[in-house]
Amino acid sequence: MAPPRTPRRPFRGRRVVLGVTGGIAAYKAIAVARELTLAGAAVDVVLTRGALKFVRPLSFEALTGRPVHTSLYPQGDPNLHIRLARDAHAVVVAPATANFLARAAAGMADDLLAAVLLATEAPVVFCPAMNDRMHAHPATQGNLRRLAEIGYRLAGPAVGPLAWGEGEGPGRMIEPDEIVAHAGRTLEGPGPLAGRRVVVTAGGTREPIDPVRYIGNRSSGRMGYEVAAAAWRRGAGVLLVSGPSPLPAPTGVELRRIETAEEMRAVVEAALPGADALVMAAAVADFRPAEPAAQKLKKEAGGVSELRLQATADVLRATRYARRAGSVVVGFALETADAVENGRRKLVAKGLDLLVVNDATEPGAGFEVETNRVVLLSPGAPDEALPLMPKSEVADRILDRVELLLARAAVPE
């Protein structure tokens, strides 16, 4: 069972104006409002006159617990647009139709949502949604450039199925989870990781026995995927090097999929010269078959009487000399006994700046769960034992430490 939703960074206690304009993708905005609210934001929904043709206020009010706004001149509150604009920490327009983009680019204030845009100092994210021909039109492209010049942020559009009968093309609004991720990056604002390059490894590796069988482990990759998502949300450029995993690629993250420990080593080594931080959350196999069979081993033929193993490449040790000076390296240690003691030895042996240790035998921690209980170890610093928490929160605690380590490395001695 998934853990209950709790307010999370950076949505906790923040105000988001969600503007919904009149396109068929307006139905997705209901899910956006729900996810933002579950993440901890107070969501003020503004529906344009066109949006009311597709969705109704009651749906949003039931999910956000807040009134929905539709009029520039509501009875008894002539300054509603100023109040919404002033109180907002971010404004998200999803969907943003071609018509609304044109009005926003022209600086019009002929409805409540347009007036909020002119009055707010909060960052604004547009999520375009329209027919691909409308998106390709020079006027729309010019409006998009103008909005970017003003300082508004554009998220999408995606390429995919359009309205019935229109096939596929660029113009589809990005999905609600992607919109929430962009809202999070916007709310996070420029911080210590903004403009930095972070390499994250995740998942297990598969070491082939024959073309259809392999040695592996039960890692889902969730911890590394959460770290990658959180680093992108904080403004970093992120490369995620992932073994086989059922998880979707985090929004905004460059994903490189690999199978074996040797493939992971090669990708990480090539990426490290440009990286400010490496977070090795992958559960890399320690051993691989010494002589993988070229053909499937048949049970009828006796199979194998023994399987000779040899050590795989130690990615952290093998890439040590590829690291950029001043970069931060984070390792993980999954143990089943004497976790902290074994972790301290690994911290020193591999020259790490930070080691994240957890016990695979503890309920709610380790593989195939959404929570973790870890201890953070650093040279010359006291151990920090974290309580059981969602892996998304563990990721933020790890990145808090990465930011501190990067700041210290930047200060001359």
Query: Residue 22: which CATH number?
Result: 3.40.50.1950
Identify the band that residue 314 occupies on the pLDDT scale cut at 50, 70 and 90: confident
How many other CB atoms are there within 10 angstroms of residue 82's CB atom?
14
Given the residues 79, 99, 143, 217, select the one marked as catalytic.
217
Measured CA to CA in angstroms, residue 201 lies from 108, 259, 381 at distances of 47, 12, 25
Report the percent of the chain where pLDDT is more than 90: 71
Question: Mean pLDDT throughout 402-410?
Answer: 90
More confident residue, 162 or 410: 162
Among 7-16, 39-48, 249-258, 354-363, the range scoring the smallest mean pLDDT is: 354-363
Residues 6+ apart with CB under 8 A from 65: 37
Residue 234 has pLDDT above 70, yes or no: yes
How many other CB atoms are there within 10 angstroms of residue 60's CB atom?
27
Residues 24-51 pLDDT 10s: 999 999 999 999 999 999 999 999 999 9
pLDDT of residue 239: 98
Q: Could you tell me the pTM of the whole model?
A: 0.92
Residues spanned by the domain of 269: 197-410
Same domain flag for 256 and 226: yes
pLDDT of residue 3: 43
Same domain flag for 162 and 249: no
Same domain flag for 28 and 101: yes
Same domain flag for 123 and 174: yes
Choose the final residue of a domain: 188, 218, 241.
188
Residues 259-287 pLDDT 10s: 999 999 999 999 999 999 999 999 898 88
Choose the final residue of a domain: 171, 188, 205.
188
Residue 303 has pLDDT above 70, yes or no: no
Residue 9 lies in a domain: no
Identify the band that residue 408 occupies on the pLDDT scale cut at 50, 70 and 90: confident
pLDDT of residue 411: 62
Same domain flag for 394 and 313: yes
How many other CB atoms are there within 10 angstroms of residue 236's CB atom?
27
Structure tokens, 238: 């992120």
Dihedral through CA 340, CA 343, CA 349, CA 355, nearest 10?
Answer: -120
More confident residue, 189 or 32: 32
Measured CA to CA in angstroms, residue 368 lies from 110, 211, 383 at distances of 51, 26, 26
Report the percent of the chain where pLDDT is more than 70: 97
Identify the band that residue 369 occupies on the pLDDT scale cut at 50, 70 and 90: confident
Q: Please check whether residue 96 is in contact with residue 46, taking contact to mean a CB–CB distance below 8 angstroms.
A: no
Same domain flag for 265 and 126: no
Residue 10 has pLDDT above 90, yes or no: yes
Same domain flag for 214 and 356: yes
Same domain flag for 255 and 386: yes
Q: Compute φ and ψ for 126, nearest 5 degrees.
A: -105, 135
Quote the strand ranges of 151-227, DSSP E: 153-154, 158-161, 168-172, 197-202, 207-208, 214-215
Residue 5 lies in a domain: no
Is-catalytic flag, 217?
yes
Residue labelled with tokens 């890439």? 319
Degrees (nearest 5) of the Cα angle 73, 78, 80?
A: 85
Q: How far apart are the first and last CA of the chain?
A: 49
Residue 413 has pLDDT above 60, yes or no: no
Same domain flag for 209 and 156: no
Question: Mean pLDDT throughout 178-196?
Answer: 95
Same domain flag for 166 and 235: no
Question: Mean pLDDT throughout 153-168?
Answer: 84
Residue labelled with tokens 């547009």? 126
- Across the beta sheet with 90-96, the strand order is 42-47, 15-20, 90-96, 124-128, 153-154
Same domain flag for 172 and 240: no
Same domain flag for 219 and 361: yes
Structure tokens, 28: 């997705």
> How many domains does the structure of the chain reveal?
2
Residue 1 has pLDDT above 80, yes or no: no
Identify the band that residue 305 occupies on the pLDDT scale cut at 50, 70 and 90: low
Residues 90-127 pLDDT 10s: 999 999 999 999 999 999 999 999 999 999 999 999 99
* Half-sphere exposure of residue 221: CA atoms within 13 angstroms, side-chain side: 25
